[in-house]
Every structure is written in C-alpha cells, then in structure tokens.
Amino acid sequence: MNDTGQVALIASRSKISGKYYFPVLPESIPVSRDCEVVTLSPEASLYSFTVVHPSPKTGQPPFTLAYADFPEQVRVLGRLKLPEGACPMIGARLRVELDATAGGEQTYVFVPVQ
C-alpha cells in the first residue's frame, strides 16, 4: 500500500542515474548498494498485451499478459484482469491489485481504471 492506501509496486532507483528498475534488485547483487527502494505510481498505461490460450490439454482458461508503462519510465510485465467480455486497449489506464497465484501466494495483477 502507498501513502494513499492504494496498492503499489516497489522498485529500485539508481542513486547515480536516477533510473528505475523493476523488480527490486536483490540485496545480494553488488549494484543494489547504489540503489534505493521506492514506490511506483499507482497508475500505469497499457503498452502492449497478448491473450494467452493454454493448450486445451491443460484445461486452463485463457489469460491476458500485459506490459504496463509507469510514469517513472519503467515497464512492468504482469497479468491483466479484465471484466467479463472486456477487451484490452493499448493506452488504457491501469492500476495494481493484489491477487493470489494458483499456489496461493500473493502476487500483483493489473486491472483497468474504471
């Protein structure tokens, strides 16, 4: 959660170049010493997407993968959850929500800003 109570992603920002990197660089990586952990803006823009159709053998339903561009000039790949019957639109505003993976772990997903 960010200061306004919205779900937000965290990233690394280089103290040298000011550039942002997602996900946060592990502390064990030497260059992480030159970075600080920051919170990204709550909204992003849909840059591109694909609807993945798993093999019929798996029985899994289709899902959408998306590239979301954040104002901090960093792109994040993630799943895009859409309302029933909705189609993704490049340029659409997205926000981040928490979701559960098939294994029950928490992860992030993108959803359209209504």
Partner 1 sequence: MTRDIYISGAAMTKFGRHDAVPMPSLAQEAILGALADAGLGLDDPQAFYCANVYGGMILGQTLVRDLGLSGMPMYNVENACASGATGIHLARHALLAGIYDTVVVFGVEKLTQLGGGSIPLQRNDYKTDLYAAQGMTLPAIYAMRATRYLHETGHAPEVLGQVAVKNRRHGALNPLSQARNEVSLEEVMNSRKVYDPLTLLQCCPSTVDGAAAVVLTTKRPSAGSSATRRPDVRVRASVVQSGKREEGLEDILDAEITARAAHLAFEQAGLGPDDLGVIELHDAFTIAELLYYEAFGLCGRGEGPRLLADGVTALGGRVPVNPSGGLIAKGHPLGATGVAQMVEVVWQLQGRAEGRQIEGAKVGLTQCTGGGIAGVDHAASAVHILTV
Q: Which residue number, 42 or 109, has a Cβ lying nearer to partner 1? A: 109
**β-strand partners of 78:** 66
Q: Which string of DSSP letters, residue by residue, matches 15-83?
A: TTT--EESSPPPTTSGGGGGEEEEEPPSEEEEEEEEEE---GGG-PPPEEEEEEEETTTEEEEEEE---
Q: Which residue number, 52 or 86, has a Cβ lying nearer to partner 1? A: 52
CB of 26 to partner 1, least distance (A): 6
Q: Which residue number, 1 or 77, has a Cβ lying nearer to partner 1? A: 77
Per CB under 8 A, residues contacting partner 1 are: 19, 23, 26, 47-53, 55, 62-63, 65-67, 69, 73-75, 77-79, 90, 101, 107
Backbone angles phi, psi at 64, to 5 degrees: -110, 130
CB of 101 to partner 1, least distance (A): 7
CB of 58 to partner 1, least distance (A): 9
Helix (H/G/I), strand (E/B), else coil: 93: strand
